[in-house]
Copies of this chain bind each other. A is one copy, B any other.
Amino acid sequence: MHAETPTLTLKELAARLDRPFRGNPDLPLSGCATLSRAGPADLSFLANPRYRSDLEACQAGAVILREEDSEGYSRGAIISPDPYLDYARGAANFDPSGHFVPGVHQSAVVGENVTLGEGCWIGANSVLEPGVTIGRNVFIGAGCVVGPGCVVGDNSRLTAQVTLVGRVRLGKRVIIHPGAVLGADGFGLARDADGWVKVPQLGGVELGDDCEIGANTTIDCGALDNTTLENDVRLDNQIQVGHNVYIGAHTAIAGCVAIAGSARIGRNCMVAGGAGFAGHIKVADGVTVTAMTMVTHDIKEPGGTYSSGIPFQPASTWRRNVARLRNLDQLARRLLKLEKDSQ
């Protein structure tokens, strides 16, 4: 069950962040807000200089900000070289999803031979199928289904209505949001004379520590080996990850990206929304892919940025340009002819 979030004094919070502070050390902080909306019990932050003018009328109990932005600011402050990062760390104390009372809701269904670590919460109408292993301090919200052969690591959180179909192994501190489906069958078909024959999907899904999986994202099980995410992979909502995909550590992928089967994406990559990856391709470490780009073949060189998305135009202009695009090869040939003629 969810629990109350704690109150911290300014001094306690600054100590947790290991940063100097100014103002009343005993000031109680119990929540977070933007500079313009924060009240006396709220933590706020100033990371983008564009919002500096919001400091003037700011009522926050404490603001995390850079030394140079703090001049002349007389209310509570925590001085940080990276206010956004320290805000993220500080705000975690006030995130209600991180606080719960252990227990098993009476409506939850816990199958035989389930191993349940200490300090877990199993929410209303959730189902742990027989043989599942749940680590310590795991929060499983309402309406989740954890299928046969699944293992959930310590301090992980399945917010609500999450499905781990089967043979899914999660590392520690993994967060999975509602509607996400891990371990569903990959899309494998063989053809015979009469139509399609399903290729059984017998592999699993394996996530490292500190991964986060967005709402309604799907990660298929491998056909035989596993679909794998290394540590600290961050997936936004409605991403499709096909069977046997491999994603390297610290890669972050925005919403609505599709990754076809057996693609291999490197570490520390950044992928913007709506991009697509063809099957079986390899993408090097540190690559950035911009929005709605179609990645059709290997990217071997680490660290570049790649695109094929097209910014919009007024429809009438675009229609004329597209009409030309549909004849671009012919147009290029005409140019070549002119070049030859003019020689």
Contact = CB atoms under 8 A, between A and B. Distances in A.
A202 B32 contact: yes
A238 B218 CA distance: 8
A77 interface: no
Contacts of A27: none
Contact of A312 (B107, B111, B191, B293): B293
Interface string A326-340: 111101101100110
A256 B255 contact: no
Contacts of A237: 181, 184, 187, 218, 220, 240
Interface in A134-167: 141-143, 145, 147-148, 159-161, 163, 165-166
A111 to B, nearest CB: 8
A33 interface: yes
Contact of A215 (B96, B195, B220): B220
A314 to B, nearest CB: 6
B321 A325 contact: yes
B252 A189 contact: yes
A181 B177 contact: yes
A130 interface: yes
B256 A276 contact: yes
Given A237-B184, A310-B310, A218 B216 contact: yes
Interface stretch (A6-14, A18-26, A84-92): A84-92
A213 to B, nearest CB: 11
A199 to B, nearest CB: 4
Interface stretch (A51-59, A65-73, A113-121, A284-292): A284-292
Contacts of A327: 321
Interface residues of A, number: 136
A320 B329 CA distance: 6
Given A143-B163, A332-B331, A335-B338, A232 B307 contact: no
Nearest to A318: B307
Given A145-B178, A220-B237, A334-B335, 11 more contacts: A88-B199, A95-B200, A165-B177, A187-B254, A195-B210, A195-B232, A196-B252, A254-B260, A291-B294, A296-B311, A308-B311
Interface of A: 1-2, 31-34, 37, 82, 84-85, 87-89, 91-92, 94-98, 105, 107, 109, 111, 123-125, 127, 129-130, 141-143, 145, 147-148, 159-161, 163, 165-166, 175, 177-179, 181, 184-185, 187-192, 195-202, 210, 212, 214-216, 218, 220, 224-225, 231-232, 234, 236-238, 240, 242, 249-250, 252, 254-256, 258, 260, 273-274, 276, 278, 288-297, 304-329, 331-332, 334-335, 338-339, 341-342
5 contacts: A37-B224, A88-B200, A295-B312, A311-B322, A342-B342
